Structures are given as structure tokens and as C-alpha cells.
């Protein structure tokens, strides 16, 4: 297998291309936040954060933080014109009530039936779940961005999750460092792959069957 | 992002026959009279209408009922100072009624917007309005299970709106409006004034724009109660 | 039996005497609204109305109504300093959530177990319930004000309600045109009665047993 | 009516051993640090604390835990930039943890304030956090039944307060504060500024005074995040 793979920035870039103009978007804490940097020119996305802000903008300059104006990752953010504040119950009403167009989350494992594991590796240490179990429900589209394999090289796209679940049958699309994969009717359906990568190479690092449905597109991403 | 819509006609044109339509307001306070009257002109049939009341006098929801557009009302109080429109149709068996206690109505709509399919309430336990509904005991007290209420469309009256759909309401005209805005697939708003994005303080937004689809400015909107007291008839 | 009885204003006055300073109070539509006129000098009650106003005041002068500022009976009201508006779900959250100190309602019938019937006489005509079924739950004290008997002379305090119920076991005190009656452990307990009225006269117009628990006070009310 | 209280000490003095205490804030935003530190001075033991997090650094809830006052935490995310206080006690088996998904935590508190003893949510269905909870299907989709969450006391941070207890909040410092104000038997507020009744526009009130019991003005309140970044230790 070649060593070729997308960087995190490139995965985030690819995910950002699917965000429609006018979409309401929640980006999970950490890596998914990077997606906001690559919104497509000419399209406007409105970002939601669980702690009660709609239409927030990028981080302020260092030294200009207002720590009453933070996102769910407790990082300082800024406001765009047309922002709104609301309390936590209203905020998660937006989430569960199906008002978000897209939620983009990280993953430890994604199963071919759409199950997601992204909150806990095992049962050691202090468990912490945050808003992940709510975010996987309600958004019209729940997408995952992730490296295709773990640091050890184990597949993250799997038959069924072995880590504790965040949600059942909730993920609809996965953007990995190697491919774009949809989840349909309990199967992984390959939509795009890196052109440098053969189908056999991709299958070797994927933990469940990769179905095909028409042509597989080329996953081509700019240098970032 | 700009959710403003050039006119009332364009705002309601897509509402089809058979739609479930939430209409904001409590009595005349917060009732989107201009949207309702434009909807009557558009003329979809066989609607289910959700409102606290069931029309008053000869305007608004009463005029919708008179126009034969309403197959079913879901409401808490289908009476008013002049309830003739609903009463006549109801007594003639020409309109269906789902009667819901007011607090349960509000909570069911709130649940619809918030993705809560069912909840328990003490209200109506042991009464005929609880018949057929599941009952459960919590901490030794009996409660009735109620289901969420959603709609295809909501017609809302706001005070200020910005192009993102952020809304404020005037005094007690708030009532059901923010709940319905969240519980409908598409929310159509008549606002007293559309202001530039940023002109509504983010802390003072009552309905965040995520719940809103179309906004029409109706600067000279009528207050339903005043029309009724003036004996106005919609035609 | 003598014809002596309290007027509606006098019943409302008596009920108002039990409203503590600082109480949050909801008055049912119609007759109960009259209670607001007789709040005790030196005490402040904060009135709640179901359609989303806290701390409203009396009706404005004719011609000065603002029809966006109404109460649950759709009558125009005014605001006191320190008022607040909120939506209907928050308003009934206050009701069901036990935040009101007192709700005072009218009645068709009250049963000795606290059942209340006040929304419908039979099953003819157009039924309309409004907020009554919510108001009977949640307030710390649910009181009823009513004539002691119907216009026909039938008792309104009964063994068990024959009219459709508004709520089960919800009423704790009844102020009538003849007496003040508590509901305790499934019984009517007489607290006060008009001094002109004998126990036998009162029992004759009461549809269930009137228990005694210590002295019966004299129900003395000013001319109004 | 005047709910103002002369000082922080008087405000928290009545909180007894064993109390269930909701504490507003999300991380440092909206955290009532001065009320918390005064409560540590007062020293009730064996508390159940409800907050989104479980303390950070050596101040606030972390300092309560270090002081051995907290028997149980109910939260969604007991991690932070410096989670030592909770982690140590938890790993030593000295503090109980009820872990609740964040949206479910918010909704349970909202339900506690609104008199809804139980509701259904899709969140956590099929996960270990749903184990032992009733499950039901609505419209073909499975949901988990969750119970309301109430408290004896809520400690809240507000921006403006009037003597009736009407409150506003600063930006995202709103978060759990209004929900907790409604869900606690007694709600104690530290406000940046107490203004005369009528100075908060009735349409701009976020927490109506009915949910509030005591208000203390803390004009120079600290922001928890700033204290943590400055390495401040409570003692």
C-alpha cells in the first residue's frame, strides 16, 4: 500500500465542499472545527454551537478573547451580524428537532449500519460524553471526518463497532483520509477514493465490505 | 443569507391542499391576519389548523372556516366573543375538533420543535380529554402521556425580523408564535419591520433564524381584536 | 333557610385575604379575576396570566387598550414595573412546575375529594377547555370561589362530581357565598361560615358531609 | 417585592449538608464563581452538584471537590483543561458520577422546572448510557425515557437583575442558567448589576422573577476561565 493519504486539513476541505449555501451546521469539538475554515466561496454556512450561539465566527485574535463568548469546545469565538443567543434546552431542541442541516463529527469507529463510536475507548478512566449523543440525532445529515485507519493501522470503518456506541444507525457519510463513503441500507457505499489508491489497497484497510453503486469518483483535494 | 420575501402572496403560495398549518396568536394578540387573509385568497382546501382558538367574528381563522378551507381544528378554546363560524360548522358536523388543554397544546408544540416525541403531564389526568391516552405513575403521582405536535407550515406574526430570520415579538403577542416557528417544517413570518442583520441584539432574539424560512414585512398590519371590535368582515 | 349570602365581590374579598405578601397568583377567567381588586393593603401579589405575562396590572381606561397586552380572558391589562413576557410553553411551565403560590378558579362542582368540574356542563354544544386543566395542577394552593349552590339551588359542593372533570383531587380550599371549606383527606372540613347561618341550614345546601376540625370561624366580610 | 440580599454569605448560608445544588455555567462562561467560593467557606458537606462539567483547575467546582464537599456529580463532561480535582476523587472511588448526555441534561433540567416528570429522547438510544432506562417506539423510531431533574438550590450568574428577580444574561453565559433557575426549589443569583424594577424591558427578560429567590450584586465578578488561565487557586 502506498503511503498517500489526505491531511486533516484536506479531509476537512472535502467535507466543507458538501455544505450547501445557507446550511445550518454543527461542527464537533476538535478536528471537525477545522471544516469552518474551508467553506466554499460564495456560500454562507451558519454555525451552531451547543452552548447556545447561532452564527458565530472564527476565533478572535489572541488577547481579544471574551470568555463569555465561547463554543462547545470552550474556545473563544466571535459573532457575525445576525447572531443569536439561547439557553441549552433551546439549543439542543435545535439539534434533536431536526433543524440542523449538517452535523460533522469525529469518530473512533463507524460501522456499516451507521453506528458511531466516538466518545470512549474502553471503560477505564473518567467517562465524558458531552453533546455527542445528541448531535448524532436530529441533524438532517450526520457526517464523520476521520483518518481511514487508527494510528496503529486498524480500520475505523468496521463491520460493527467494538467501542462503546455514541449512536445507532446515525451516520450517513464518512469523509476519510482515503475515501468518501456513504452509508445506505446497512452498507458502506464507496463514492470517491484517492486516484493513487487501488480498490484492493482501499479494501485492505477497510473493516467491512465496500459496495459500489455506479462510478467511483476521484477524491481530488488541493494542497493545503 | 436573505429570507425576505417580496410579498404576502409569494409567501403563502406554496401551501397545498391538506396541509397542517399552525397559526400563531392568542385571540387577536399576535395573530398574523394579513398572512391568513392572503392564504384565503390562495384558497388551499382541507387544511388542519392549529391555534389556541378557532376564530372570532368574520376575519382571520373564522374567515378561513367560513371559506370552507378548514377540515380540522386543533385548539384549546374554540369559543370567542363571536364564535359563529366554528360553531355552525362544528354543530353541522362539517369540521373536526381535537380539543387540547392549553398548556398541553403549548407543550406538544414545543416538543414537536425540540424533537421530543412524547412526554408526561399531570394535566387532564382523570378527565375525558385523557381517555385512550397512556397513563404512568412517577414518584407516586399519575400522569398522562402526550405526543408532540408538528406542522407543515407555521404562520407567525413578529415585531422585528432580520434577513436571517431572527425575530422579536411585541408584548404578549409572543404567546404561541415562537413555539410554532420551531415546530413547523416551514415557517412563514409577517414582521412589522425587517431590519438589517445585526440590528437585533443577539441577546434579545426570541426566535433564532434557524426556525424561520420566509419573512414578509407588513408595516401596517392590523390587530385582529381591533378589526373584530370594528365589525370588519373579510371578503 | 335565610336568604343571606355573600355577593361575588364579598367572596372575592374573602379569598383575597388569604393571599400572602409576595405570592405569585393566577386568577381564572371571569369571576376569579375580581379577587385582584381586593388584595390586602401592604401586601403585594404578582399576577400571572397563561398567555405569557407576569406582573400585570388592572385594566386600562377605556380607549387606552393595547390589544397586544391582554390576559387569558382576552381582556386588556396594563403592566407594573418588573413585568416580564414569555411564550406559552414557559408560561405553562410556571403553572405545571409548581411555581405559582395560588390559583383561584371558578367551579361548577367541587367534590369532597378535591375533584373539580368547571369546564363543561354536559356533552352538548362546542366544548372548550382553555388552561383550566393545567391550572388545577402545579399551583401550591388551588382554591375555588363560587356560589354555594347553583341558580336552581342545587349544591355545588358534592359527594362526587357529575359534570365532566377538570382535575382529580386538586382543590384544597373553597370560598363560597356561605362558607370557607377546606378539603383534607377526602373530606370537606368547614373552617368558617356566615354567623347568621345555622349548621343545619348550611348542611341542607351542601351535597356532602361537612366535617368539623375545631372551632368554626365566623365568615365576616365588609359591605362592598 | 425585594429579593435582593445584602451579601454572598447571607445568600448561601441556608444551604444544608446533603443538598442537591445546580450550578450554572458551561465551563467558565456563566459560572457563579463568587457564590461557589462563598459556599465553600460555608462548608456544607455531602452535596450533589449538577453542572455540565466537573470543575477545572483549582477554583469553582474543582475547589468544592478538593474541599470534600461533593458526594456526587451529575454532568455531561467531567473533563477540562485541568480535571485533576474530579479525576483524583473519581479514580479513588470517593465521588459518584451520573453521566448524562448534554442535551438530555439540559432537557431533564428544563422538564424539572416545567413539571414534566418524564419525556422521550432519541439521544443515547442503543448506548450504555441508556441501559436500564425504558425504551418506547414512536412513529417507528426508538426513544429512551428520561426523568426530570430538580434541585434544592440553584446558584446562578446573571448580568442584570431587578428586585423582582427578573434576569438577563451576558452572551453565551446564558447556557444552563435559566433552566436551573426554574428547576430548583430556591434559586440564588449573583448579578453583575441590580437595577430598579422596570429598567429591564419586559420583552428582554430571560428569566422571569418567579424563578428567583435571592439576588446579590457582585459588580466585580471574576470570569472563571480568566482565573484558570491565570493559575489562581481558591483557598
Indicate the domain borders of chain D: 8-125+132-229
Q: Chain C residues with CB-CB distance to B under 8 A?
A: 49-53, 66-70, 74, 85-89, 91-92, 95-96, 115, 125-134, 137-138, 164-168
Exposure of B50 in the CB half-sphere (CA atoms within 13 A) = 29
Ramachandran region of residue A32, left (φ > 0), alpha (ψ -120 to 50) or beta?
alpha
Query: Across-strand partners of D77?
Result: D53
Cell of D193: 448589576
Interface of B with D in 120-139 (CB under 8 A): 120-122, 136, 138-139
Residue A11 to residue A8: CA distance in whole angstroms: 5
Determine whether the interchain pair B172/C131 forms a contact, defined as Cβ–Cβ distance below 8 Å: no
Tally Cβ neighbours within 10 Å of residue B41. 11
The full DSSP string for C4-53 is ----HHHHHHHHHHTPPTT-EEEE-SSGGGGGGGGPPTT---EEEETTTE
In A, which residues are within 8 Å of D178 by CB distance? Answer: 87
The answer to whether the CB atoms of A82 and B211 lie below 8 A apart is no
Per-residue confidence (pLDDT) for residue B24, from 0 to 100: 98
Q: Is C50 a catalytic residue?
A: yes
Nearest CA in chain B to C128: B77
How many interchain CB pairs under 8 A, A with B?
65
Is C177:C138 a contact under the CB 8 Å cutoff? Answer: no
- What's the CA gap between B218 and B212, in Å, rounded? 16
Is the CB of residue A111 less than 8 Å from the CB of residue A162?
A: no
Residue C68 DSSP label:
T
Residues D28, D230: contact at Cβ < 8 Å?
no
CB pairs under 8 A between B and C: 146
Q: How far is D134 from chain A (nearest CA, A)?
A: 17
DSSP calls for B55-104: -BTBBHHHHHHHTT-EEEEEESB---SS-HHHHHHHHTT-SEEEE--HHH
At residue B235, the pLDDT reads 78
Alpha helices in chain C (DSSP H): 8-17, 88-96, 132-135, 199-204
Residues (pLDDT < 70) of chain D are: none
Collect all residues of chain B within an 8 Å Cβ-Cβ radius of residue D206.
203
User: Is the Cβ pair B171, C68 closer than 8 Å?
Assistant: yes
Cα separation of D106 and D51, whole Å? 10
Distance CA C79, CA C69 (A): 8
| Average predicted confidence (pLDDT) for chain D | 97
DSSP state of C20: P
**Region at B139 (left for phi over 0; alpha for psi -120 to 50; beta for the rest):** left
Average pLDDT, chain A: 96
Q: Is D140 exposed, middle or buried (0-12, 13-18, 19+ CB in 10 A)?
A: exposed
When CB atoms are compared, the residue of A86, A134, A138 closest to D104 is A134
Interchain proximity C70–B172, CB inside 8 Å: yes
Pairwise CB contact (< 8 Å): B114 & D107: yes
Question: Which of helix, strand or coil describes residue D195?
Answer: coil
For C90-99, b/e burial (b = at least 16 CB within 10 A) is bbbbbbbbbb
- From D171's Cα to the closest Cα of chain C, the distance in A is 19
SS3 A93: helix
The reply to whether residue D203 touches residue B204, judged by beta carbons under 8 angstroms, is yes
Cell of D160: 442584570
Distances (CA, A) of B91 to B78, C126, D132: 12, 8, 49
- Distance from C-alpha of A91 to C-alpha of A72, rounded to nearest angstrom: 11
**Assign residue B4 a region: left if phi > 0, alpha if psi is -120 to 50, beta otherwise?**
beta
* Chain D and chain C touch, per 3+ beta carbon pairs within 8 A: yes
**Which string of b and e fits B4-34 if b means at least 16 CB within 10 Å?**
bbeebeebbeebeeebbbbbbbbbbbbbbbb
- Taking the Cβ of residue B93 and every Cβ of chain D, the question of whether any pair is shorter than 8 Å is answered with no
Distance of CA B82 to the CA centre of its chain: 19
Label residues B69-84 b or e (16+ Cβ within 10 Å = b): bbbebbbbbbbbeebe
Torsion on CA atoms D132, D136, D140, D141, rounded to nearest 10: -40
Domain A8-218 belongs to what topology? Glutaconate Coenzyme A-transferase (3.40.1080)
Please report all neighbours of B, defined by 3+ CB atom pairs within 8 A.
A, C, D
CB contact under 8 A, D107 and A92: yes
Q: What length does chain A have?
A: 224
The distance between the two most distant Cα atoms of chain D, rounded to a whole number of Å, is 55
Task: Give dist(CA A112, CA A189) in Å, integer.
Answer: 9
Tell me phi and psi for residue D93, to 5 degrees: 70, 25
What is the pLDDT at residue C1?
A: 47
pLDDT per residue of chain A (224 residues) written in tens, 0 to 9:
457 899 999 999 999 999 999 999 999 999 999 999 999 999 999 999 999 999 999 999 999 999 999 999 999 999 999 999 999 999 999 999 999 999 999 999 999 999 999 999 877 889 999 999 999 998 999 999 999 999 999 999 999 999 999 999 999 999 999 999 999 999 999 999 999 999 999 999 999 999 999 999 999 999 98
DSSP string, C105-159: E--SEEETTS-EE-S-SSS-S----TTHHHHTTTSSEEEEEE-SB-TTS-BSEES
Residue D152: alpha-carbon gap to chain centroid: 11
CA distance to partner chain A, nearest, from residue B12 (Å): 21
Distance between CA atoms of residues C50 and C96, nearest Å: 11
pLDDT band (50, 70, 90) for residue C95: very high
Distance from CA of C48 to the nearest CA of B (A): 12
Contacts of D124 in chain A (CB under 8 A): 133
The residues pairing with D167 across neighbouring beta strands, listed in sequence order, are: D161, D207
Closest Cα of chain D to A114: distance in Å? Answer: 12
CA-based nearest distance B107→chain D, Å: 9
Give the 3-state secondary structure of A179-223.
Answer: EEEEEECCEEEEEEECCCCCHHHHHHCCECCEEEEEEEEECCCCC
The DSSP code for C30 is S
The answer to whether chain A touches chain C by having 3 or more C-beta pairs less than 8 angstroms apart is: no
Question: Which chain D residues contact residue B117 at CB under 8 A?
Answer: 120, 138-139, 141, 143
Do the bridges between strand A157-158 and strand A173-176 make them parallel or antiparallel, or are there none, so unpaired? unpaired
* Chains B and D lie in contact, requiring 3 or more CB pairs less than 8 Å apart: yes
Q: Select which of C50, C184, C201, C223 is catalytic.
A: C50
3-state secondary structure of D61: helix
Q: Collect all residues of chain C within an 8 Å Cβ-Cβ radius of residue B102.
A: 50, 88, 92, 129-131, 134
Residue from A20, A33, A44, A50 carrying the catalytic annotation: A50
Give me the residue from B116, B170, B203 closest to D119, CB to CB: B116
Q: Do you know the residue count of chain C?
A: 224
What gap in Å lies between CA B11 and CA A12, rounded to an integer?
Answer: 37
* CATH of segment(s) B8-125+132-229: 3.40.1080.10
Give phi and psi for D75, each to the nearest 5.
-160, 170
The pLDDT assigned to D197 comes to 98
- Residue A1 has a pLDDT of 47
Residues of D in contact with B119 (CB under 8 A): 111, 116, 118-120
Which residues, listed in sequence order, are joined to residue A143 by a DSSP beta bridge? A104, A173
Q: Is the Cβ pair B123, C87 closer than 8 Å?
A: no
Whole-prediction pTM: 0.98
Record: contact B205-A84, CB cut-off 8 A:
yes
Percent of chain C with pLDDT over 90: 95
- Which 8-state DSSP code applies to residue A76? B
Listed residue (B226, B79, B81, B52) closest to B149, CA to CA: B52
Question: Nearest-CA neighbor of D35 among D10, D17, D70?
Answer: D10
Give the chain D residue whose CA is nearest to the CA of B111: D119
CA atoms within 13 A on the CB side of A8: 10
User: Which among B29, B122, B177 has the least Cβ separation from residue C137?
Assistant: B122
Angle at B106 between CA B105 and CA B112, to 5 degrees: 90
Q: How far is D80 from chain C (nearest CA, A)?
A: 32
In B, minimum Cα distance to C74 occurs at B27
| Three-class DSSP category at D90 | helix
What integer best gives the mean pLDDT of chain C?
A: 96
Instruction: Report the candidate in A137, A68, A152, A59 with the shortest Cα–Cα distance to residue A105.
Output: A137
- pLDDT exceeds 80 at position C122: no
The size of the B-D interface in CB pairs under 8 A is 58
What pLDDT is attached to residue B227? 93
- Residue B142 three-state SS: strand
Q: Which of helix, strand or coil describes residue B224?
A: helix
ipTM over 0.95: yes
The reply to whether residue B118 touches residue D115, judged by beta carbons under 8 angstroms, is no
For cell 464518512, name the residue.
A174
In degrees, to the nearest 5, what angle opens at C-alpha A13 toward C-alphas A8 and A15? 95
* Distance in angstroms (rounded) separating the CA atoms of residues B111 and C89: 10
> pLDDT of A101-110, one tens digit each?
999 999 999 9
- Report the alpha-carbon distance of residue C54 to residue C80 in Å, rounded: 9
CA distance A160 to A168: 11
Asked whether the beta carbons of A159 and A153 are under 8 A apart, the reply is no
pLDDT by position in tens, chain B (length 235): 999 999 999 999 999 999 999 999 999 999 999 999 999 999 999 999 999 999 999 999 999 999 999 999 999 999 999 999 999 999 999 999 999 999 999 999 999 999 999 999 999 999 999 999 999 999 999 999 999 999 999 999 999 999 999 999 999 999 999 999 999 999 999 999 999 999 999 999 999 999 999 999 999 999 999 999 999 999 7
Amino acid at each position: 500500500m502506498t503511503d498517500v493519504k489526505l491531511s486533516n486539513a484536506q479531509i476537512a476541505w472535502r467535507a466543507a465542499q458538501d455544505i450547501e449555501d445557507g446550511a445550518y451546521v454543527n461542527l464537533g469539538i476538535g478536528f471537525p472545527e477545522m471544516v469552518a475554515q474551508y467553506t466554499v466561496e460564495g456560500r454562507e454556512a451558519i454555525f451552531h454551537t451547543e452552548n447556545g450561539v447561532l452564527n458565530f465566527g472564527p476565533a478572535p485574535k489572541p488577547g481579544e478573547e471574551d470568555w463569555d463568548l465561547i463554543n462547545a469546545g470552550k474556545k473563544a469565538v466571535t459573532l457575525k451580524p445576525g447572531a443569536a443567543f439561547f439557553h441549552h434546552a433551546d439549543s439542543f431542541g435545535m439539534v434533536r428537532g431536526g433543524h440542523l442541516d449538517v452535523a460533522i463529527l469525529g469518530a473512533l469507529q463507524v460501522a456499516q449500519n451507521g453506528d458511531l463510536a466516538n466518545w470512549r475507548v474502553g471503560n477505564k478512566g473518567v467517562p465524558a460524553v458531552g453533546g455527542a449523543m445528541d448531535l448524532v440525532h436530529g441533524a438532517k445529515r450526520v457526517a464523520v471526518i476521520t483518518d481511514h485507519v487508527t494510528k496503529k493501522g486498524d480500520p475505523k470503518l468496521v463491520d460493527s463497532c467494538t467501542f462503546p456506541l455514541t449512536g445507532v444507525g446515525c451516520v450517513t457519510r464518512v469523509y476519510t483520509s482515503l475515501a468518501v463513503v456513504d452509508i445506505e441500507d446497512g452498507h458502506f457505499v464507496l463514492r470517491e477514493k484517492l486516484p493513487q489508491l487501488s480498490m484492493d489497497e482501499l479494501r485492505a484497510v477497510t473493516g467491512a465490505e465496500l459496495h459500489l453503486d455506479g462510478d467511483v469518483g476521484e477524491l481530488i483535494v488541493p494542497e493545503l | 443569507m436573505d429570507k425576505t420575501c417580496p410579498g404576502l402572496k409569494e409567501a403563502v403560495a406554496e401551501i397545498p391542499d391538506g396541509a397542517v398549518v399552525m397559526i400563531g396568536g392568542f385571540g387577536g394578540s399576535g395573530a398574523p391576519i394579513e398572512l391568513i387573509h392572503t392564504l384565503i385568497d390562495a384558497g388551499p382546501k382541507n387544511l388542519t389548523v392549529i391555534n389556541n382558538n378557532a376564530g372570532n367574528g368574520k376575519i382571520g381563522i373564522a374567515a378561513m372556516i367560513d371559506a370552507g378551507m378548514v377540515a380540522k381544528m386543533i385548539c384549546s378554546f374554540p369559543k370567542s366573543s363571536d364564535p359563529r363560524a366554528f360553531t355552525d360548522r362544528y354543530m353541522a358536523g362539517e369540521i373536526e375538533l381535537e380539543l387540547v388543554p392549553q398548556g398541553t397544546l403549548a407543550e406538544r408544540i414545543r416538543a414537536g420543535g425540540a424533537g421530543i416525541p412524547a412526554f408526561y403531564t399531570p394535566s387532564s389526568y382523570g378527565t375525558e380529554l385523557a381517555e385512550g391516552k397512556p397513563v404512568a405513575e412517577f414518584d407516586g403521582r399519575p400522569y398522562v402521556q402526550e405526543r408532540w405536535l408538528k406542522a407543515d407550515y407555521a404562520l407567525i406574526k413578529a415585531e422585528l425580523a432580520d434577513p436571517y430570520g431572527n425575530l422579536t415579538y411585541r408584548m404578549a403577542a409572543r404567546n404561541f408564535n415562537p413555539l410554532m416557528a420551531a415546530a413547523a417544517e416551514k415557517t412563514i413570518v409577517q414582521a412589522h419591520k425587517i431590519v438589517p442583520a445585526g440590528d437585533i441584539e443577539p441577546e434579545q432574539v426570541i426566535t433564532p433564524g434557524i426556525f424561520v424560512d420566509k419573512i414578509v414585512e407588513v408595516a401596517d398590519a392590523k390587530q385582529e381584536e381591533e378589526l373584530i371590535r370594528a365589525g370588519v368582515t373579510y371578503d
